[in-house]
Amino acid sequence: MWAILGDMLGGRRTIGREPRTAVRLGAVAVGVALMVSGCSADSSSVRSSGAEHATTRSAVSPVIPAPSVSTSQGDVEPPPSTSAASLPIPRGWVTTESPPVPTAPVTALLDRLPVATPDPARPDYRRDEFGDGWSYDRDSGCNVREYVLITESRTEAQVDDRCKPLAGDWVSVYDGVTTTDPTDLEIDHVVALSEAWRSGAWRWSRARREAFANDLVDPGSLVAVTTRSNRSKGDSPPDQWLPDAFDARCTYVEAWIRIKTRWALTISPPEKATLVQVLSGC
């Protein structure tokens, strides 16, 4: 039955090798479809445009192209993910709190970003203001971290029957490191949660902050990177940290600008100066 329904939905690709442990992406898609058709969806929690513009993570991937990253072996160009087009974003993760991804040139977006210093009267940042961790989809069995790992693998990721990635082929765009082991990677918020808090998220509702923390509509918001590069970055803005891989810097600042524009966040004067400088070389 699962195989037949999977074929009806477009023949989703198998992302595992072992029949006892692997799950089919078709089953993931069917689970999401059954979840949507079998329950009385809260129309206020799903964007009416979501079905057109955010049904899959790859649907908006042309907005932020995959970067070339430099390694000691030379330039590495990550090919398009073979998994991304096959794994729809669970509709429960695309809410009315998720703004559309801007498509204007980043230079125009940067010109319109408000420049301001953080409000000293803002409350102290707390991680739990952005939810209790990665969102989880009951029907597919995947959480947001697992989803990002599956969609960013350059080959079909192998996952167990609980959606946990076991192996794949990843490039950490911050430093150009390649790995087949998902435990080598962390999922980074390109604009860190504490940076978003300083830039205006402290004024948001909790629902909006949770949407920001688990955003999959824009594939540039969450990226799989090495633990070392993620810890090196911390919550620093671009004027304090840029990727080691020089060829990744243009893509990084473009993603940063789009995220801040999309979520109506501010940038500081030193932040804008760095963004302008990096873009001038792109």
pLDDT digits (tens, 9 = 90+) for 72-130: 333 333 333 334 435 788 887 888 899 999 999 999 999 999 999 999 999 999 999 99
- How many domains are contained in the chain? 1
Please write the tens of the pLDDT for every residue from 27-60: 433 343 333 344 333 333 333 333 333 334 543 3
CA distance 171 to 153: 8
Of 101, 94, 89, give the one whose Cα is nearest residue 64.
101
Q: Where are the beta strands (DSSP E) in the chain?
A: 69-71, 74-76, 158-159, 165-167, 170-172, 177-179, 185-189, 222-226
Model confidence, pTM: 0.71
Residue 245 confidence (pLDDT): 92
Task: Give the structural domain span for 81.
Answer: 2-280
Please write the tens of the pLDDT for every residue from 126-149: 999 999 999 999 988 999 999 999
- With the C-alpha atoms ordered 218, 219, 224, 225, is the resulting torsion angle positive or negative? negative
